[in-house]
Chain A
Amino acid sequence: EIVMTQSPATLSVSPGERATLSCRASQSVSSNLAWYQQKPGQAPRLLIYGASTRATGIPGRFSGSGSGTEFTLTISSLQSEDFAVYYCQQYNNWPLTFGGGTKVEIK
């Protein structure tokens, strides 16, 4: 099973600042990596797939990068609606696995 490790667990950021979230895979997942956003009481929402392709309707301030075992989600200028928990997920191998999440909170 591929273990996905996200860091940091919590990120405190001021509105308008840049946020950088990391996700590491225990073995290569090529570019088969997705990012999701989840707000309290809501279902997750797909942000990024293929490591760097934004999903339909996702604002340009969200960008993904990386391949192999190291991945990054960047939110260029945090808006109030971006404070949430973010998960990475690999889909290169079964079983599909998620990272433990990074909570982005208001500083």
Chain B
Amino acid sequence: EVQLVESGGGLVKPGGSLRLSCAASGFTFSSYSMNWVRQAPGKGLEWVSSISSSSGYIYYADSVKGRFTISRDNAKNSLYLQMNSLRAEDTAVYYCARSVSGSPNFDYWGQGTLVTVSS
């Protein structure tokens, strides 16, 4: 069974940093691209970042470019999102999601971790 479990969310002050993790199991992690998608409270879905299976291709939304860094450790079956210079508008549930390489739709999602940026 495919499982994606996010962790690392919490309350952080504007300008602060946070590192999210996503632990994957039930599939060959190193064969899939991975993604972060977020959802602000009461709002729709927003794609944040994607990383290819071997980390050769990385993409970011303009809203986070230069502040967030996606990475993965295939030996640990883990995906990460380093978030720096956080703003109030980054407050959201952050989902980890899997996609087939070359076809970035999201076939499995984690349950999400809430990031709240507030003073």
Binding site for B on A (CB under 8 A): 1, 32, 34, 36, 38, 42-46, 49, 55-56, 87, 89, 91, 94-101
Beta-carbon contacts under 8 Å, B24-63 to A: 37, 44-47, 50, 59, 61-62
**What number of A-B contacts does a CB cutoff of 8 Å give?**
56
In the bound complex, CA of A101 to CA of B45 (Å): 9
- Least CB separation from B102: chain A residue: A91
Q: Is there contact, CB below 8 Å, between B46 and A43? A: no
In the bound complex, CA of A97 to CA of B63 (Å): 13
Beyond A98-B44, A101-B44, whether A49 also contacts B105 by CB under 8 A is yes
- Least CB separation from B96: chain A residue: A43
Q: Is there contact, CB below 8 Å, between B109 and A45? A: yes
Binding site for A on B (CB under 8 A): 37, 44-47, 50, 59, 61-62, 95, 103-112
Beyond A96-B50, A98-B45, A100-B44, whether A91 also contacts B112 by CB under 8 A is no
Q: Is there contact, CB below 8 Å, between A44 and B106? A: yes
Residues of A within 8 A of B62 (CB): 1, 95
In the bound complex, CA of A98 to CA of B106 (Å): 12
The answer, among B95, B106, B112, for a CB contact under 8 Å with A46, is B106
Q: Is there contact, CB below 8 Å, between B112 and A43? A: yes
In the bound complex, CA of A89 to CA of B47 (Å): 10
In the bound complex, CA of A34 to CA of B50 (Å): 16
